[in-house]
Structure 1
Amino acid sequence: MKVTIGKSLELIEQAQAIRFQAFSVEQGIPNELDFDGLDSSSVHALVMDGNQAIATARLSINPDGSSVMARVAVLKAYRGKGIASQVVTALMKYAEQQGVDLIEIHAHSYLRNYYEKFGFEFIQDVEVVGGHQLIAMSYQSAT
């Protein structure tokens, strides 16, 4: 399956539909917390299975060369197949191509080891969102 990266309205709407299912429906996170106003200024990774959007993530690039990866989500039926890893890797490569030297992420605490496999380092516990403890992690490019 191919990862597409872009900013089109259609891509953003498909990403939001995945996030609604994964975050609001499954995890009980209020929908208004997901819609933070950053979608239109961010790039989105999207994975399709035929006509079905199945996975997404978002990268917001700051003027100082840092960035924030967020909203990594895979539909339940497609989890455990390495699709999230494809999305994360694709966005990391995209960030590098854009000259980004730092990627930050706020992830569920249980995903710490997962993101460490990509080279992210734990910084600290941060907020609790929808009953889920989030942690701040960062990845520093070697370039």
Structure 2
Amino acid sequence: MGGTDSHCLSVSSYEITQNEANEMGGSMSDTVEVTWDTSFGSSGCENAFDIRRKTFVDEQGVPYDEVFDARDKEAIHIVGRINESAIACVRCVDEGGGRWRVGWLATHQELRGKGIGTQAMRLAIKTIGEHGGHEVVLSAQGTAIEFYRGLGFEQCGASEDLPSGFTLTPMHCTLKN
């Protein structure tokens, strides 16, 4: 697999601060447009990987080798950009038999709570369906369980405490074809 497809979606209106606008290379406005790229493999995802590293390694203390692994090379990466700057990403891995695993959903710290993660997940689910997927699974941190429930996911097993101190809850949703 190779290449990039671009999908343009508008984010619901929200105000950004001047600092946010400056970081993204733009000026203040009430509406910000996010361009979504779907990349196959890890090529071209470097600045998206910066968002993932900042979120999981720097902010949450997850070991680097847990956050980045060989599956990045075989995954579909969905990257949200504003003015060419990556502001969100999510990874989709084909586990075979129509089952896909979504993980490492990350949004720029200044832009959380504005619907960008929801858009990333909806595009991930749509992309998985377009690739023949019929089930999406993920491991949710405790603080994200309600977020994923709002997207149609249900718990499908016992929560697991990891040595890093995080608790992950397995969740899944079945895609409607």
Report percent identity of matched pairs. 25
Which sections of structure 1, spanning at least 5 residues, go unmatched?
none
Secondary structure of 1:96's match? helix
Which sections of structure 2, spanning at least 5 residues, go unmatched?
1-33
- Tell me which amino acid in the other structure corresponds to 1:134: L
1:88/1:37 CA distance change after superposition, 3 Å: same
Residue deviations 1:28-57 (CA, integer Å, cap 9, x gap):
111111112100100000011113211000
**TM-score, reference length from structure 2:** 0.76
Corresponding residue number in structure 1 for 2:95? 62
Q: Provide the aligned length of Structure 1 versus Structure 2.
A: 142
RMSD: 1.3
**TM-score, reference length from structure 1:** 0.93
Structure with greater helix share of residues = 1
1:141/1:77 CA distance change after superposition, 3 Å: same
Alignment of 1:73 onto 2:106 = yes
Question: Partners in 1 of 2:172 and 2:160 — Cα distance?
Answer: 13
Corresponding residue number in structure 1 for 2:127? 94
Pairwise mapping of residues 114-133 of structure 1 onto structure 2 (< 5 A)?
Answer: 114-123=147-156, 124-128=158-162, 130-133=164-167
Alignment of 1:20 onto 2:20 = no
1:42/1:2 CA distance change after superposition, 3 Å: same
Range moving further from structure 2, 119-128 or 47-56: 119-128
